[in-house]
Amino acid sequence: MKTARIILFYLAAALAAAVCGVLFGATRIPLSEFVQDGALNPIAELRIVRTASAAVVGASLAVSGLVFQAVLRNSLAEPFLLGVSGGSGLGAACAIILGFSAWGFMSVPLFALLGAVAANLLVFAAVRRRSAEELLLGGVMIGTLASSMLMVLITFSHSHDMAGVIWWMLGSVQTVDPSRQLAPASVLLAASLVYLFVRAGDIDLLTFGPEYAWNHGVNARTMTVLLLALASLLAAVTVSMAGIIGFCGLVVPHIVRRLHGGSHRKILIPAALAGAAFLMLADILGRVVSPVRELPVGMVTAAVGCPVFLWLLNRSRAGS
C-alpha cells in the first residue's frame, strides 16, 4: 500500500474514533443539542477535551514506543523503560501522600512530570557508556528503585491517599486541563513528529545497530541518547497528564511496523494516528462498559493489550 493511502486509512480511523468519542458516553447528546444558544453543550465540550487528550496521549505513547523499539532493536521495548513509570509514580505519590496536592489541581501532574524527568536524568547520569543496552539496564534499575520507594510511601500512607495514588497510576484522561496540559503536550508531540520525520533515515540505520549506523554517517551514540531522551520526555508528559497507561506504546507501534514494514518515514505518522485511535477507543469502551463508575483507560488498554503482549512474547521466543 502506498504511504499516502496508509496515512489516509489511519487518519480516517482516528477521525471516526474522535467522532465516537464525542458522541458516546454515559449521557447521550442528540446532535441537535450540541450547540445551544450559540454555545457548545458543556458535556460535549468536556468530551471534546477528553477525546483530544486521549488522542494526544495515545499518539505520544505510540511514537515514543516506536522510537524505543527501533533504537533498542527490540519489539518488546516500551516508552517507560528508562525509569519514567517508577519516577512519575513516586512523584505523584509524593504529591498525594505528603500533602502537596493541597497546592492545587496541577500539583500531582507537575510532581509526576518532575519525578519522571528526574528518574530519566538519573539514568543518563548513572550510565557511563550510554549504549542502548546499558541505558536500558540502567533504566530498569532506577525504575525499580523508584518503585520500591513508592511502595515505602504507600505503606506509611492513609488508605484514602493510597486509593488516590492507585487510581492515578491506573491512568485516565478524565481530568486533563486543556490549556495547561493538553496544549503543551500537543506542541511537544507536533515538534517531535517533525524532528523524527526528518531523522527517519537515521532511525532506519540505527535498527541495524550502532556500528552499521556509524558506518553510514550517523553519529550513533549521540543519536541514540537524543532519541531515547525525546521518547522518554514524550512518555513523561503523557504520564503527567493521564497517569501510567500501559500497552499502547508497546502494542500499537509493533502492529503498525508488522503490517506496513519499511522505512520509519512511512510508519511514523500511521503509528501516531493508530495510537490516537486506539486510546480514544479504549476511553470510549471504559465509559460505555461501566457508565456509572468509569473504567480507567489504563485498565482497558491493559485488558486489550495483555493478550496481544503475550502473543508477541511467545512469537518472539519461537522466533529466537
Partner 1 sequence: MKLTAEQLVYTHPEAHEPLLNGISLEIAPGRISALLGRNGSGKSTLVRLLSGFLNPDSGSVMLDGRPVSAWTPSERVRRLAVVQQHVPVPLTDYTVRETVAMGLTGVSRLSGRLSPEQSDRLERTLAMLDLAGLADRPCGSLSGGERQRVFTAAALVRSPGLLLLDEPTSAADPAVTRKIVSLLRTLAPEVGILIVTHDLQLALDCAGFAMLLHDGRIAAAGDPADVLTPETLEPVYGCPFRRFDCGGRPVILPE
- Distance (Å, whole) CA 176 – CA 147: 24
Instruction: Read off the DSSP letter of residue 295.
Output: P
Residue with cell string 492507585: 166
Q: Can residue 127 be called a binding residue for partner 1 (CB under 8 A)? A: no
Q: Can residue 167 be called a binding residue for partner 1 (CB under 8 A)? A: no
- H helix or E strand, kind and range, residue 186: helix 183-198
Q: Can residue 180 be called a binding residue for partner 1 (CB under 8 A)? A: no
CB 80 within 8 A of CB 235: yes
Q: Per-residue contact track with partner 1, 224 to 263, x per CB under 8 A?
A: ---------------------------------x---xxx
CB 117 within 8 A of CB 87: yes
The minimum distance between CB 121 and partner 1, in angstroms, equals: 24
- Distance (Å, whole) CA 196 – CA 257: 16
Residue 232: count other Cβ atoms within 10 Å of its Cβ: 29
CB 51 within 8 A of CB 280: yes
Q: Can residue 265 be called a binding residue for partner 1 (CB under 8 A)? A: yes
- H helix or E strand, kind and range, residue 36: strand 35-36
Q: Which CB atom, from 197 or from 311, has the smaller least distance to partner 1?
A: 197
Q: Tell me which of 184, 217, 291, 307 binds partner 1, using CB under 8 A.
A: 217
Given the rule CB under 8 A, which of 30-38, 181-189, 209-217, 240-248 is the region that contacts partner 1? 209-217
The minimum distance between CB 274 and partner 1, in angstroms, equals: 16
DSSP string covering 133-184 = HHHHHHHHHHHHHHHHHHHHHHHTS-HHHHHHHHHHHH--STT--IIIIIHH
Q: Can residue 178 be called a binding residue for partner 1 (CB under 8 A)? A: no
Q: Can residue 198 be called a binding residue for partner 1 (CB under 8 A)? A: yes
Q: Tell me which of 23, 126, 154, 200 binds partner 1, using CB under 8 A.
A: 200
Q: Tell me which of 184, 209, 291, 307 binds partner 1, using CB under 8 A.
A: 209
Q: Per-residue contact track with partner 1, 77 to 116, x per CB under 8 A?
A: ----------------------------------------
Q: Can residue 311 be called a binding residue for partner 1 (CB under 8 A)? A: no
Q: How many CA atoms lie within 13 A of 296 on its CB side?
A: 17
- Rule CB under 8 A: which residues touch partner 1? 69-70, 73-75, 197-201, 204-205, 207-212, 214-219, 257, 261-265
